[in-house]
Amino acid sequence: MNKRALPLAKVYGLLETGPVVLLTTTHKGKPNVMTMSWHTMMEFEPPLVGCVVSRNDYSFEALRKTRQCVLNIPTADLAAQVVTCGNTTGRDVDKFEATGLTPVPATFVAAPLIAECFANLECRVADTRLTNRYDFFVLEVLKAWIAPGLKNPRTLHHRGYGAFMIAGDTIRLPSRMR
């Protein structure tokens, strides 16, 4: 999928609506991907994203040790892969092989971009002060990629227990932000 650079100040608009994301890591040379919906924007620029990655997940140790990841944002056509990545563990499954998702080298981090996702955010771990207590990591987006020309990305929004909403139309309302 062809991408152009997305200005970092616009990254919040990708995440504020809470799309389900695919978090990739590479630990000890092994790439992995997990599904994540517990995330929140914390700052415009540089973009800061808070997220909960459970200590039970294989990705937790990878994130804590390498302090790097990519947040890949899928659209609804990837729903089956999203569910697989959220219901299997990298401890015993190569999820890229299992799902057919394509890992692509990132610019600033060892974790791969997922080619099929319309946006990819390369991140470093900026703060772990709440990690021991809440499994909460603060990520700083170092580089953002977006597929040009996609007007209304049909992102997935988790409603719990396997139910998802799919984003639809965009409406424009007055805003003091541009």
The binding site for ligand FMN (CB under 6 A) comprises 20, 32, 34-38, 52-54, 57-59, 83, 86, 88-90, 158
| Residue 4 beta carbon to ligand FMN: minimum distance, rounded to whole angstroms | 28
User: Which of 56, 37, 28, 60 lies closest to 128 in space, CA to CA?
Assistant: 60
Choice between 9 and 110, CB closer to ligand FMN: 110
| Residue 87 beta carbon to ligand FMN: minimum distance, rounded to whole angstroms | 6
| Residue 77 beta carbon to ligand FMN: minimum distance, rounded to whole angstroms | 16
User: Which of 125, 144, 22, 14 lies closest to 78 in space, CA to CA?
Assistant: 22
> In this chain, which residue has its C-beta nearest to ligand FMN?
86
| Residue 175 beta carbon to ligand FMN: minimum distance, rounded to whole angstroms | 28
Choice between 53 and 78, CB closer to ligand FMN: 53
SS3 15: helix
Choice between 58 and 96, CB closer to ligand FMN: 58
Helices (H), the chain: 12-15, 58-66, 79-87, 95-99, 131-134
Phi, psi of 13 (to 5 degrees): -65, -25
Choice between 9 and 79, CB closer to ligand FMN: 79
- With the C-alpha atoms ordered 58, 64, 68, 72, is the resulting torsion angle positive or negative? positive
